[in-house]
Amino acid sequence: MKIAAHHRQDLEKIIKRLDSSFFYYDLDGLKEHLEGLSSIMKEDPDILLWYACKANPLSAVLKVFRNCGFGIDVASKGEIDQVLRAGIKPENILSTGPSKSRKYLRELLEEDIKIVVCESLNQLYWLNDIAATMNVRPQVLLRVQLEWEEGASVLGGNEITPFGEDEKTWLSMEKSKATNLDIIGLHVFQWGNILEVDRLKKIWRKIAEQTHLLAEKLGIEPQVLDLGGGIGIPYNSNEKAVDFNEILEVLKDLKSEFGWEKIWMELGRYAVGPYGHYMTQVIDRKNVRGKELLILDGGVNHIVRPAITGQSFPVELFRESSKENQSFQIHGPLCTAMDNLGTLELPADTGPGDWLCFHQCGAYGFTEGMPFFLCHNLAAEVILYEGNVMIPRTPRKAEEWLV
């Protein structure tokens, strides 16, 4: 993966201006990608894509999704406020998330957000009571946690997680306690970052079949099946990006084969991941017991994903070098061995003062980090929009947030 030539000059200027680690989002590239997805989607109006804004809630990013006609999935009050501030209409907001209190459910309805994925029987009954007192009728999807043969994923896979209820619990639902709600479908999402369309197809076929049976037993019309996210992006050079045309064919077949009227997804990683880069400087280089190490200005304080998943972001040296690549074990600045960005290939002359560019950082970057530990600068955020470079967030020093 290489930074495109037309971004290089901009990035050089930003490095000089900020002199601190930053994210760089190519919103022109994002817009093109979303327009491509929208035109593919036009083929079938019963397949609807939302954006899961937990992936990247920067207001400028949200506005691109809004302008491209995407609704937004929110999972906290902070996300609701941010999305509303970005001009997204309440009717274009979908609410997911395992931790919805009565207070939060009321806030959703007070904000006119009326599509709610209920992740527990409690959430369902609470929402029903609140809807009755407010005289509104929200649309609801029930989130189901299915059993799989084996396997784990950030979304659980076959592990027991807080997401949704199992089939048995939903079958115990007392319909008399949900009379103020329109239950329009079911939601299942347990597998993340999958690049192989055949694997996605296998997972989704099982979901579509099992949820259709469940809907029948529950006496729910099979209107909407929401498959969440899960479409991967390449983090290694030997991996290939997923073509959404292939995904659309799979989704269309699911609908016709299993009798679901509509299929929804709320995408995070696939929607925005490739359009963000993280730039940081090499502070030190050393050889420890035979291994070459690079120590950087920023690490899991800004991009925590490698520490959580064990998977690195692809990296590039931000200058020309004629040297052959060699392996470096790359660490951030935190006083924990967990601050390990992986063992990656870089030119042999990489050293202090060089800048590195990590790719695929547009999703689960800035807001997923652990920015406060050790009191380094918070990462800045820079956007390219309609050919112009803007800096919505400058680097924040610890003195600005420590008390």
Ligand X SMILES: Cc1ncc(COP(=O)(O)O)c(C=O)c1O
Distance between CA atoms of 149 and 228, rounded to whole angstroms? 20
Q: Are 117 and 143 in contact (CB under 8 A)?
A: yes
Distance between CA atoms of 58 and 381, rounded to whole angstroms? 9
What's the min distance (Å) between Cβ of 402 and ligand X?
30
- Say whether residue 362 binds ligand X (CB under 6 A): no
Pattern of binders to ligand X over 176-195, x per CB under 6 A?
-------------x--x---
Among 37, 53, 173, 267, binds ligand X (CB under 6 A): 267
Among 255, 269, 305, 331, binds ligand X (CB under 6 A): 269
Q: Are 231 and 242 in contact (CB under 8 A)?
A: yes
Q: Which of the stretches 2-10, 212-220, 224-232, 352-360 binds ligand X when contact is defined by CB under 6 A? A: 224-232
Phi, psi of 185 (to 5 degrees): 165, -165
Pattern of binders to ligand X over 44-73, x per CB under 6 A?
--------x-xx-----------------x
124 versus 363: smaller Cβ distance to ligand X: 363
- Say whether residue 266 binds ligand X (CB under 6 A): yes
- Say whether residue 153 binds ligand X (CB under 6 A): no
DSSP code of residue 86 = T
279 versus 363: smaller Cβ distance to ligand X: 363
Which one, of 325, 324, 322, 323, lies nearest residue 314 by Cα?
325
Distance between CA atoms of 287 and 267, rounded to whole angstroms? 41
Distances (CA, A) of 285 to 78, 238, 267, 348: 40, 28, 38, 11
- Say whether residue 156 binds ligand X (CB under 6 A): no
263 versus 294: smaller Cβ distance to ligand X: 263
Tokens (6 digits) for 55: 């992936």
Binding site for ligand X (CB under 6 A): 52, 54-55, 73, 96, 189, 192, 228-231, 266-270, 363
